[in-house]
Amino acid sequence: EKGGFEHFMLKEIHEQPKAYRDTMRGRIDESGKKVVLPELKLTADQIKNIRNIQIIACGTAYHAGLVGRSAIESLVRIPVETDVASEYRYRSPIVTPETLVIVVSQSGETADTLAAMREAKANGAHVLAITNVVGSSIARDADDVIVTLAGPEIAVASTKAYTSQLIAFYLLALYLAEVRGTQTPEAVAQIVAAMQALPEQVESMLAKPDAIKAYAEHISKHEHLFFIGRGLDYAVAQEGSLKLKEISYIHSEAYAAGELKHGTLALIEEGIPVIALATQEAVLEKTVSNIKEVNARGADIMAITHEENVAGLLKSVDQAFAIPKTLPLLTPALSVVPLQLLSYYASLARGNDVDKPRNLAKSVTVE
């Protein structure tokens, strides 16, 4: 049942190339240049009238929502808010019939997400669910559903469901951009082509786990560490940090790299591991100055970046791991993979129950 893998989590990490392909299949037209989402009931007129979007989810699905927000805001220029489902109701969210609410849930059964969705619906929003389970409560209650085709996810720590959610968000953002005319057909075609290259790029990383495995064994001896990044790197840092805490029980915090000096830098001392995500070229220089801040305090830094930045970064980091190159917006679909492997191998090195971490359930059906 684990297909030759020691754990479901590792099997599911390796199923990601397939999950990306399956989630894209039938949603890119024959020309290979355009996104089609035939399952949507949302009409072109409704799409043109959307005034604001709210993305609601919990945990890892919320982290996918952070990337979704960037994708929609940058490609479609509609304002997007992202909320943790258990908090959504308490801030009197502003919902009108021109609000599109997107709920994201692998299981489709998360109580907080379901409750937030019902509240949004009662206030007149059109609700679109991104879920991995067709017959789930969330899928049944939503006005529209985009199914991620990740296949069943057994390990408590979500991996292929998260990355399939990213793919679903990219497809949705492109589709909205086509309908609202906010991107040229050439720009859309370029992103679609880059998306189609992602599965092979993931495969290339999965074929070489040794460097990440060795680094995981190193951090497994620590009790605290930090992830830093800016922009989309920060969104991925949050997911990497959650995954690591969840299965390795190492305490970690994800920090927006620019926020460190506003307090957290006080915690950086000799030898503390810092994982710096430095894949977003537009903010690279600024991230590098934050890397230098922690380096000067003796942190033990590992950078996740692109090949061409490795030599330069090695002046201020202890090691660097290069990921394949794609468009900046799509990079989370690649940069999260080494972080998934990192938590897996750190959990393994600590002798934990990787697939069933303590105190956690796969589906959280209480608020």
| Residues at the contact surface with ligand F6R, assessed by CB under 6 A | 58-61, 105-107, 110, 113, 157-158, 242, 246, 363-364
Q: Is 112 exposed, middle or buried (0-12, 13-18, 19+ CB in 10 A)?
A: buried
Residue 205 contacts residue 323 (beta carbons within 8 Å): yes
Read off the tokens for 15: 């199923």
Q: How far is the CB of 29 from ligand F6R (least distance, A)?
A: 29
**Distance in angstroms between the alpha carbons of the first and the last residue of the chain:** 32
Residue 214 contacts residue 242 (beta carbons within 8 Å): no
Q: Which residue has the tokens 């589709």?
A: 175
CA nearest neighbour of 192 among 17, 77, 28: 28
Q: How far is the CB of 59 from ligand F6R (least distance, A)?
A: 2
Residue 132 contacts residue 161 (beta carbons within 8 Å): yes
> 165 or 279, CB closer to ligand F6R?
165
Our answer to whether residue 362 is catalytic in this structure is yes
> 84 or 310, CB closer to ligand F6R?
84
> 158 or 252, CB closer to ligand F6R?
158
Q: How far is the CB of 359 from ligand F6R (least distance, A)?
A: 12
> 52 or 363, CB closer to ligand F6R?
363
Q: How far is the CB of 155 from ligand F6R (least distance, A)?
A: 8
337/317 Cα distance (integer angstroms): 20
> 165 or 316, CB closer to ligand F6R?
165
Residue 357 contacts residue 247 (beta carbons within 8 Å): yes
5 three-state secondary structure: coil
Which entry of 18, 34, 325, 362 is annotated as an active-site residue?
Answer: 362
Q: How far is the CB of 109 from ligand F6R (least distance, A)?
A: 7
> 220 or 238, CB closer to ligand F6R?
238
Q: Give the Å distances, CA to CA, from 87 to 62, 67, 312.
A: 12, 19, 42
State which residue has the least CB distance to ligand F6R. 59
Name 193's Cβ contacts closer than 8 Å, sequence gap at least 6: 32, 33
Q: How far is the CB of 106 from ligand F6R (least distance, A)?
A: 3
Read off the tokens for 236: 């991925």
Q: Which 8-state DSSP code applies to residue 251? A: E
Name 267's Cβ contacts closer than 8 Å, sequence gap at least 6: 224, 226
Q: At what angle do helices 16-24 and 185-206 cross, to 10 degrees?
A: 160
> 22 or 300, CB closer to ligand F6R?
22
CA nearest neighbour of 346 among 155, 218, 173: 218
The number of residues making up the chain comes to 367
Q: What is the dihedral of CA 145, 146, 149, 152, to 10 degrees?
A: -40
Q: How far is the CB of 355 from ligand F6R (least distance, A)?
A: 11
Active site amino acids: 362
